[in-house]
Structure 1
């Protein structure tokens, strides 16, 4: 009888010890799961994107905003003129800017080289320079303007004085000794003046760049520049990042480094936005059309 009792006690003790060991194991396993979950759901930092009022800035900024939000980043936009954006980036108040034209903005890049990093181009071979309507058939090169300055009221209408491209435009005027005055205004005012002239088939000279909707909507052309090809010889357009973004948001940094957008796609998006379509919806449509390529980029950066 005593043997039976002892055997029962031994069995009960074994069961209790086994149950305790299972509980400890489950508890340890649960702690590990919680730690993994916390690591996977760790909040990503907020990123601030700079935005100018140029039409070429909006499509890539909206595309990047949507993709970065998909990646888990919180995004804020700060709109300002170009000089203010560079200054804010140098202080770390803006993390990303999507429309840096090289070499036109070299002076800013050099001034803030300790704080700002230029990434690989989103697109290149972007032309800029003096622009006239296509119906000005005898004016195809800047040299054709010499002696014909009165035709365009001795002025070239351009954008804000703070843009470095305006310095290059003035140098181009001086190189050809053109009797024209550089008239600075906003992009919107310049396009309004161009529309007023083209509606009446009147001559006009302005500054222009591709990608832009003006060429499709107003029938404009960029003049060649054969005698002084050192001016407006083509540009590449780059994302800029504050110099801690690679550490602060490495996945975002790699995505920006890899992103490319063809110029025809840029102009198509700009035309849609200028026609009144919602910029966010236009960007999302481009994302949907390029989803496979974008997903491959994001997968490579994980």
Structure 2
């Protein structure tokens, strides 16, 4: 059983332990391994949904109970640092390295989920003369001096500001939700107009929009490719060792994540249904995660 807490400001979680009585009246847990509910943090990013849903289903199959708390990245890391959240499946480095540094005493890096996830400034493919961020210099008016981006405060937006400063671009970053950003990008691309926005892989935007991530020759240390980690509260291993072992063996190809995002976001399929289908079709990989 899982519960979903819709709270983007404060994270308040109540753990529950399911117990019963045997014929002799002795109390026993539904799963002796799982002595507490495992709570997952889920950010508004589409890339977070498939791995979170799959991990919860696997753990539920193992006998654990799961909960999910939806919040922005900062609140997820804060909740994980104080133990209100146990696991986050979508920690992006280097963009979120500051959180891991800040909470290094209470958050551990469990494993790498996937590597070489690209991100950065994005323009339509039909803008053939704009291929590197440096090509924007002197052409800012093409974009009405604006770049559409995700919610303010996300570490990626700091990298965007750094890029704008490093290239001395006359560009204002316009922050909003992922959905609002993509709505603006889609509107411009459908009209074959110039548009500049933030993008990352895995994401359906590259399946649906004729768009490209710009190279970054002058400052390659910014948006140089991301490594995505599974991270957890440092007591997860002690409290639920079998769950920690499974997550330590976590492995899903980035292409599978992207395909599931398409199914959930664009084919309007239920996220849990899509996750269960992936598990059924990849039982060998699931068995490896479970050490079988």
TM-score (norm 2): 0.88
Instruction: Name the counterpart of 2:32.
Output: 42
Instruction: Name the counterpart of 1:56.
Output: 47
Q: Which moved more, 1:147-156 or 1:291-300?
A: 291-300
Does the 8 Å contact 2:114/2:252 carry over to 1? yes
Alignment of 1:170-189 (within 5 A): 170-189=161-180
How many matched pairs?
A: 265
Question: C-alpha distance in 1, partners of 2:289/2:33?
Answer: 22
1:72-109 CA-to-partner distances (Å, cap 9, x unmatched) read 11001111111111111111000011110011001111
Does 2:277 correspond to 1:280?
no
Structure 1, gaps ≥5 residues long: 1-33
1:297 deviation in Å?
Answer: 2.8
1:7-55 CA-to-partner distances (Å, cap 9, x unmatched) read xxxxxxxxxxxxxxxxxxxxxxxxxxx9xx9699526121111111110
Q: 1:138 to 1:290 in 2, by over 3 A?
A: same
1:263 deviation in Å?
Answer: 1.2
Q: CA RMSD in A?
A: 1.6
Q: Which has the higher helix share?
A: 1
Question: C-alpha distance in 1, partners of 2:79/2:29?
Answer: 32
Q: 1:75 to 1:39 in 2, by over 3 A?
A: closer
Does 2:283 correspond to 1:291?
yes
Rg larger in structure: 1
Question: C-alpha distance in 1, partners of 2:241/2:33?
Answer: 14
TM-score (norm 1): 0.85
Instruction: Name the counterpart of 1:29.
Output: none
Instruction: Name the counterpart of 2:240.
Output: 249
Instruction: Name the counterpart of 2:217.
Output: 226
Alignment of 1:101-250 (within 5 A): 101-250=92-241
Instruction: Name the counterpart of 2:85.
Output: 94
Question: C-alpha distance in 1, partners of 2:126/2:53?
Answer: 35
3-state secondary structure, aligned to 2:231: strand
